[in-house]
């Protein structure tokens, strides 16, 4: 039988690449659910091609447009973020790929876990904001959570068949982004056009800016803590500009495992859909003759403060990572709208961490309130 896939965030970079994987593996995979925030044109196009049973457009003003376009094709259409959560209790999907941007992915992921759906997690903010809660829910509902981020997929693959007690540390690789090697004074007048030019990966605007500030790597550090049950001090970040080694695991006997491949997100998506099996794919193969030099260096956390802030948030625990994530979402949006400068992103993040109410043992409702409080405070810091 074909595996049924729900894609939450189908019009984004991860969502569109997931549909490419499904198209190639159409004898084994089919689309059950597609959701999008506001890109109604692409959502309609995807739905007409893949014929899912359910479609959700979060932007309620686009509902009639989507409904009218899909009604002749017997595709059920819903509107609003709440509908995505409710659909998790109705859909027959076997796997839910959570690829929504930022905090918006939290509640739908919780709903999918509670309904015992296997999670292919591409929304790192879910674990950043509420890692303790999510891991508890996965254990309670016996739900598999397979990471889709290339770094976490690499670690997951390196750990298959290994005793968790044999792990000494996890090593996350980072490309360094477009400003690797530059100092603070060289980043004072960086524009969004420059920041959106990632050297290796094609991604959405928000995650591309996060990569430029190294916040993306900071969020991945926090995510890794919850995914793999390791302490913060046992997670190391190494800058690897070629992005061929996606991450590594160091073991207590001094050996290191690395997962390698070309920088293509379709590979970890494909792995998550078919785990624990490895299914043949047509992806481009890596040639070592083209990558004769693989280099590594330490990240500059003085210049790129966001990585250091992520380690601080992880060490404090509670709702601090939720504060950092919410502040960063507001700051990145402001930078993309030319309201603040590049280095101010980290400054706003730090001020929010210092000022927003800290809760040591937050509930899901506390996370929701923290997110709202932080966003309001972060907006008050904007010009």
pLDDT exceeds cutoff 70 at 46: yes
Residue 79's closest CA among 36, 120, 47? 36
pLDDT at 165: 95
DSSP 8-state symbol, 206:
H
Q: How far apart are CA 299 and CA 238, in angstroms?
A: 6
Lowest mean pLDDT among 153-162, 163-172, 190-199, 372-381: 190-199
Average pLDDT, integer, range 10-35? 96
Q: What tens digit of pLDDT does each residue of 316-340 get?
A: 999 999 999 999 999 999 999 999 9
Average pLDDT over every residue of 210-218: 94
Q: Are 100 and 275 a contacting pair, CB within 8 Å? A: no
The whole model's pTM is what? 0.90
Strand partners of residue 97: 7, 120
- Hey, where are the domains in the chain? 3-147, 152-263+296-307, 317-383
Structure tokens at 297: 């260096």
pLDDT, average across residues 221-247: 95
Q: Residue 13 and residue 269: Cα distance in Å, rounded? A: 12
The answer, yes or no, to whether residue 203 has pLDDT greater than 80, is no
**What is the second-level CATH architecture of the domain 3-147?**
3-Layer(aba) Sandwich (3.40)
Confidence bin at 202 (pLDDT 50/70/90): low
Q: Measuring CA to CA, which residue among 240, 227, 233, 222 is closest to residue 169?
A: 233
According to CATH, the topology of domain 317-383 is Rna Polymerase Sigma Factor; Chain: A (1.10.1740)
CA 81 to chain centre: 18
- Residue range 156-162: average pLDDT? 97
152 pLDDT above the threshold of 70: yes
Pairing of strands 256-260, 245-251: antiparallel
Q: What is the pLDDT of residue 105?
A: 85
Helix (H, G, I), strand (E, B) or coil at 35: strand
Q: How far apart are CA 253 and CA 90, in angstroms?
A: 48
Q: pLDDT tens, 49-75?
A: 999 999 999 999 999 999 999 999 999
């Amino acid at each position: 039988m074909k595996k049924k896939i729900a894609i939450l965030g189908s019009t984004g970079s991860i969502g569109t690449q997931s549909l490419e994987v499904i198209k190639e593996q159409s004898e084994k995979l089919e689309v059950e659910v597609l959701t999008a925030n506001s890109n109604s044109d692409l959502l309609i196009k995807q739905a007409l091609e893949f014929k899912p049973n359910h479609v959700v457009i979060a932007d309620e003003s686009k509902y009639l447009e989507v409904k009218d376009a899909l009604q002749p094709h017997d595709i059920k259409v819903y509107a609003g973020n709440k509908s995505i959560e409710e659909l998790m209790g109705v859909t027959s999907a076997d796997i839910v790929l959570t690829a929504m941007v930022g905090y918006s992915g939290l509640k739908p992921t919780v709903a999918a876990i509670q309904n015992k759906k296997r999670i292919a997690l591409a929304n790192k903010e879910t674990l950043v904001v509420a890692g303790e809660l999510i891991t508890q829910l996965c254990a309670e509902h016996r739900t598999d959570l397979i990471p889709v981020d290339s770094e976490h997929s690499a670690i997951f693959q390196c750990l298959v068949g290994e005793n968790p007690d044999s792990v000494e540390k996890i090593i996350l690789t980072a490309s360094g982004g477009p400003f690797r090697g530059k100092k603070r004074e060289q980043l004072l007048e960086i524009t969004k056009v420059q920041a959106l030019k990632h050297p290796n990966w094609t991604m959405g605007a928000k995650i591309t800016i996060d990569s430029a500030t190294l916040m993306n790597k900071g969020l991945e550090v926090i995510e890794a803590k919850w995914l793999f049950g390791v302490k913060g001090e046992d997670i190391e970040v190494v800058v690897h500009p070629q992005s061929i080694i996606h991450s590594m695991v160091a073991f207590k006997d001094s050996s290191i495992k690395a997962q390698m491949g070309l920088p293509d997100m379709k590979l970890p998506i494909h792995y998550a859909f078919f785990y624990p099996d490895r299914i043949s794919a047509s992806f481009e193969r890596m040639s070592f003759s083209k990558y004769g030099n693989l280099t590594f260096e330490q990240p500059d956390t003085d210049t790129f403060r966001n990585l250091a802030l992520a380690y601080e948030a992880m060490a404090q625990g509670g709702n601090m990572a939720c504060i950092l994530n919410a502040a960063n979402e507001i700051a990145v949006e402001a930078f993309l709208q030319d309201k603040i400068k590049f280095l101010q992103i980290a400054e706003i993040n730090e001020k929010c961490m210092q000022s927003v109410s800290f809760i040591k043992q937050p509930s899901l409702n506390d996370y929701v309130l923290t997110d709202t409080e932080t966003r309001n405070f972060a907006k008050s810091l904007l010009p």
